[in-house]
Amino acid sequence: MLNYIPGSVKASMWNIYAIAYPKGTTFNIQLVTTYMYSGEIGRMNLNKVNSFKELNWDSYYYNDNTQKLYVLLSSDFEQDYSNAGGPGWSFRTAPNLYGRLLHVKPSCAFNCKRSGKATIAPVEALPTSLEHDIYKAALTGANNKVGTAWFQMYHNYRNRNPRLSYQLYHNLVDPNITACISVKKTCVSSKLMDVILGGNHLIPLTRQLWLQVSSGQTQIMIQNKKGDILLLGDILLTETKDSKVWIPSNNAPAPSCTPSYETLSIYKGAFAAGTRDGYAPNGFITEDKTNPLCDGASMSIRFLVQFFEGLKNLNMNVPSNFVSLEFFAKSKDSTPVELQISTSQDVKGKSTRTRQYSQDWIITGDKWTFFRVPLSAFGAEKNLPGLYFRISNEERLYYPRDAVVLLSAVRLSTQPATLFTDFTRTDYKGKLFNGQTPLPAFKKN
């Protein structure tokens, strides 16, 4: 039985779908990430929850009374759909280069008797995962120029890093404008992807930016090509759903360029002896003395979208007391990215994402981010034949054609890695949009 959902989901939006299955059906549901040139690059099982209120980005809910399966689907870009054939149902996001498919395998198999097609579920109350605070910025400028920006905070958007979704409205006519989140009229985020009337998209948040927004320090700033500020307005809380923000619970400071514990240098302002001819091809790795953090120079790597770049012929035997890889990273062009690490250039080899090994989650251009990654996560606990990085397919929200990342103090470490997967609740401390006093402390029921 084919099941086709007409229409499409708007970019950067979400919908809850209700798919009809007979009473008593059980499910095996997987979210599969694919790449046009290499096929499947990731697979995740969705977990069953026991109520609609618990539905989130990595779960599903089946209601015996309505005989409907509920799933929460979202898009970073425009979406389309593919027919799965048989009783299954498939959902795919565009663009074509990278796709995500939701595979639903029901226990009823070809004996399913559907009461109807999959539809967008009517809801009276949202799941807790979608109940988040709403922020608003009233934008003002010279010559009667005005605008409004709306924001919604997601502490865990589609199993990824925190996000702000936004919608932007204004009466500017200049087509060559840019917008960003700013502090004291200085951009602290990357440029917003869409700034036309009604433009909407998602903004990845580092820990630093997250705390600035939650404390009411930030503004939305729109400039012309010359850098003149056309519109400016404070981003303030206007509607509370949960009165909280979420940040990693561990706030330990990053180590120094020369820590007290034992390390083994891979890159320390200069390339290791014997690796000068061991760069990845095309001259994408250079030394950058204009952006040093430690020892006068940084390693600059230019990444094309799907390729690993790095150092080969390292052939390091790893002493047993070294258990992790440490490095500092920064995006040269302010594009927010997440890195993936491997010992080879084989895209199907063992590798690991870096998101969970840093308090800041992702790399941006406004500050250096520290990472400490367990060697066992990418198969380097005994030997390091090479060290390769690429932009993670899972976190490239902006799909840049290429990006340049700076690395500093790349070294093996005797210190174990910390998983930054635990979150702690913090009360909103900024001003409110209507000028009232800050909200009272959030109390757990």
The model's pLDDT over 87-116, given as tens digits with 9 standing for 90+, comes to 444 444 444 455 667 788 888 877 776 556
What integer is the mean pLDDT of 373-378? 96
pLDDT score of 81 more than 80: no
Taking the C-alpha atoms of residue 40 and residue 63, their distance in angstroms, rounded to an integer, is 31
pLDDT tens-digit map of 337-359? 888 999 988 877 889 988 889 88
Total residue length of the chain: 445
Strand partners, 163: 154, 204
Structure tokens at 444: 């757990």
Is 409's pLDDT higher than 60? Answer: yes
Residues in Cβ contact with 305 at an 8 Å cutoff, skipping those fewer than 6 apart: 97, 391, 396, 399, 400, 401, 402
372 pLDDT higher than 70? yes
Cβ atoms within 10 A of the Cβ of 110, count? 8
Sign of the alpha-carbon dihedral angle for 301, 305, 310, 312: negative
Domains of the chain: 14-129 (2.60.40), 132-247 (2.60.40), 263-413 (2.60.120.260)
Q: Where are the beta strands (DSSP E) in 171-297?
A: 177-183, 186-187, 199-204, 219-224, 229-234, 236-239, 245-248, 263-267, 285-288
pLDDT computed for residue 34 by the predictor: 65
Residue 85 pLDDT more than 60? no
What does the pLDDT read at residue 8? 35
* pLDDT score of 100: 63
> For residue 13, what pLDDT band results from cuts at 50, 70 and 90?
low
Q: Copy the structure tokens of residue 182.
A: 């700013």
Strand-pair partners of 119: 18
Task: Express each pLDDT in 254-280 by its tens digit.
Answer: 899 999 999 999 988 776 544 444 444
The larger pLDDT score, comparing residue 5 to residue 224, is at 224
Percent of the chain's residues with pLDDT above 90:
28
Model pLDDT, residue 82: 32
**Cβ atoms 244, 442 nearer than 8 A:** yes
What is the amino acid identity at position 19?
I
Instruction: Tell whether omega for the bond before 87 is within 30 degrees of 0, i.e. cis.
Output: no
